[in-house]
Structure formats: C-alpha cells, structure tokens
A = this chain, B = another copy of it.
C-alpha cells in the first residue's frame, strides 16, 4: 500500500517545482524518511551558508515523502503549517533532512524534520503539519 524508495524518487523527479533542488531519497520506511540536498554554490548565502528557504523546502519535502511512503503514491496531502528554527549555519557538503511522523490522524498529520550534516550536526529543526486530501 505504501510507496517504495524507488517510487518516491520517481515522483520527485517528475515534480517540476521541486526538481531544481535535486533531492535524493536516501532512506524511507514506516518510521520516517531521509533525503539529501546535494550541495551547489547557488544555494549559498554570502559566507558559504546554505540559504534558509532551501532548508525549509527540504523539511517540507522530507515530510511529504514520509507521508507518501505510508499512504502510497495514489493519495496525497498538503502542507498546512511548517515551523522552522535555524540552529547552526549549514556550511559545506551536502545537507540531509530526516522527517519523522509523530501523529497520523484522519484530519491531520504531524511530525518533525531535522536538517543535518552527514555526521549528524543539526542545522535546523522543523515541525510540519499536513492535511490529507
């Protein structure tokens, strides 16, 4: 019923509005989803820091995939709220974002997402609410 990593990646690659980030599905399962935001110079603010909107886009995307991994490719959900705290400058290297679902309700789905380095240093922390449609 849920979607596989491969199906999620194919879905991402077809999504024009998100494709330019080049997100890659690293891992997906019942417990959540991790994606990679490949490093590119265009994502950097002065000082070589990955810009905030890119981290928020990653959080939104990682949660979207975590949900689709559960409900499958046929159904969908829309972001209703997304709260972000920027904790440490994301400098150099790829960024990873891991989303975890804390509540999967009939009317709303809520979870957290964290952007972090490969070694686990946290860049930003997010809470995300989606509504099934």
Q: What residues make up the interface of A, taking CB atoms closer than 8 Å to B?
A: 15-18, 20, 42-46, 51-54, 56-57, 60, 78-88, 102-103, 105, 107-108, 110, 112, 122, 125, 127, 129, 131
The smallest beta-carbon distance between A111 and chain B, in angstroms, is 9
Complex CA–CA separation, A51 to B79 (angstroms) = 10
Which of A51, A56, A85, A127 has the most chain B CB atoms closer than 10 A to its own CB?
A85
Complex CA–CA separation, A42 to B19 (angstroms) = 10
Instruction: List 6 A-B pairs, minimum CB-CB distance, nearest first.
Output: A53-B57, A83-B83, A17-B51, A87-B103, A82-B84, A56-B56
Contact B85 A110 (CB under 8 A): yes
